[in-house]
Structure 1
Amino acid sequence: MIAKGSRVRHKDKEIDKIKGVMAVLEIKNGYAVCGYSDFERYGKGIETYPLTDLKLGE
């Protein structure tokens, strides 16, 4: 189950190649606000995805 703080990947392989592993910052109304928790990608932008488009990351 995806929860706030989970590490997730996008189910679409093309989007996953670009975005990689993201951290869930907030969940509301079936959507997850995702960003990056590692310093290397900090500030790269925040994306919102439906929870159905995400899977738990490694």
Structure 2
Amino acid sequence: METLGDMGRPVVLPEFLKAESKLTFHVNEFNLVVSNLIGLRRNLDDFRHPR
């Protein structure tokens, strides 16, 4: 099952969330709306150097 932000893919906000995103950006200087939408347990690539 794929979730938003899975494997580092960008999240495209629907139009109805863009205004809220702009209003809340100043709180912590990042996109709170997207942050709340992406899963904490999403899959990410492993970019560590192989040993």
TM-score, structure 2 normalization:
0.26
Q: Which of 1 and 2 has greater Rg?
A: 2
Greater RCO (Cα-Cα under 8 Å, separation 6 or more): 2
> Which structure has greater strand proportion?
1
Bigger helix fraction: 2
